[in-house]
Amino acid sequence: MDLTSVKQRFGIIGNDPALNRALEVAMRVAPTDLSVLITGESGVGKEFFPQVIHAYSARKHGTYIAVNCGAIPEGTIDSELFGHEKGSFTGATEARKGYFEEANGGTIFLDEVAELPQTTQVRLLRVLQTGEFIRVGSSKSQKTDVRVVAATNINLREAIATGRFREDLYYRLNTVPIEVPPLRERKGDIFLLFRKFASDIAVQYRMPAISLDEGARRSLEKYPWPGNIRQLKNVAEQISAIEETRLITASILQKYLPDYAPVSVPMVVGNRSFDDMSDERELLYKVLFDLRNDVSELKRMVAELRADHMAPAEPKSDVTALLPRNLSAVHTSSGVTGSVSTVVPTSYEGEFADTEEVEEEPMTKEKMLRENIIKALRRHNGKRREAAKDLFISERTLYRKIKELGIDEY
């Protein structure tokens, strides 16, 4: 059993030392029944490792079940994992086996394990400790012999600190940790993966495969790939389908790379996922875009007022002659934070008679985000899915921002 044969069997591309180390750990732990926790950013290929572990274990002839914990509604996940009895809840017209019962003697892969509700975490902990579970609506304990492999792109230590994940469950799952490196740390593998994806799409749709010139290859390797292998594959498929030329230059490639920067710089991301950062960036862009529109509209209104008052007309008083100069005092500040102050003569006998200099409180990034989210929710009568689309962010990010910013009315 060597790395080359494993990579060929499972279609794993790359020779990066960190990737090889992760595969070696997976193969060494496979013959045991120890629980494994696989960590890494979204899109790095974590799903291959439980398959490798199962294939090289004594359970390879047993059932292998992969479960995406984040895709199952909270109200039904206990039933999906542990089964239920007839009549245990509305719609339970017959008894049903859960995944832990179906996979007896095999392996269960729990992807996005950090998304499990607290009550389900307690049930899972019992299975890991004693091998026992209880169906929903039953009082009878059952035994199961299942090897558990879990994966997450969330920092579980932070989740423990905030009370979202049980510490005892973390240590049960994390018996053997495997960390899958992000694509930006596997510079030498990026071109190999791109060439593989381009070749696959060419064979699938019977077209000539695209190739990269030297400049495009350098651009490919400098880009940070926040979406990792999933994003790289998507770019290869887009270029193959859209571009007529089969030799791709750097200028062509960069059209398909969002926020391309020619110089590779360190990316400080802490423990946040790239999906969340991308969604927040899009929301900030929209906030700035709306702010720019508001400023432009304000300038247009001031210009119209100045034009009206500067047009030939019978002067109402000597103050009128000073009006254009005072109105020009309208100014805006640039950047994400700032304020807009308007100075209008208080002695003018007209529509501005009761106005005075007003200095608004500086607008912080959080306040702008909050106001734009509230506006979007109002536009769509509180429908969060439509509001998320309007803000160009995921519905999940919108829910998180509503909670973080304390938006209680929706």
The DSSP result for 356-410, as a single string, is --EEPPPB-HHHHHHHHHHHHHHHTTT-HHHHHHHTTS-HHHHHHHHHHTT----
Tens digits of residue pLDDT in 186-201:
999 999 999 999 999 9
What does residue 24 show for φ and ψ, rounded to 5 degrees? -60, -40
pLDDT at 161: 96
pTM: 0.64
- Residue 388, C-beta contacts closer than 8 angstroms, at least 6 positions apart: 394, 395, 397, 398
pLDDT at 393: 78
Place of tokens 């030297």: 214
pLDDT at 395: 77
Q: Which residues of the chain have pLDDT under 50?
A: 263-275, 313-360
Domains of the chain: 3-181 (3.40.50.300), 184-254 (1.10.8.60), 273-410 (no CATH)
pLDDT at 377: 84
pLDDT at 216: 96
Tens digits of residue pLDDT in 2-16:
899 999 999 999 999
pLDDT at 1: 64
pLDDT at 296: 62
How far, in Å, CA of 43 to CA of 153, rounded?
Answer: 9
Give the H or E element holding residue 277: helix 274-310
pLDDT at 309: 64
49 CB neighbour count, 10 Å cutoff: 26
Report the half-sphere exposure of 128 (CA within 13 A, side-chain side).
22
pLDDT at 159: 95
Asked if 338 and 359 count as a contact pair (C-beta separation under 8 A), the reply is: no
Q: Are strands 331-332 and 340-342 parallel, antiparallel or unpaired?
A: antiparallel
Q: CB burial class (10 A; 0-12, 13-18, 19+) of residue 338?
A: middle
pLDDT at 286: 55
pLDDT at 367: 78
Quote the tokens at residue 269. 């991301």
Alpha helices by DSSP H, listed for 32-111, are 48-55, 77-82, 99-102
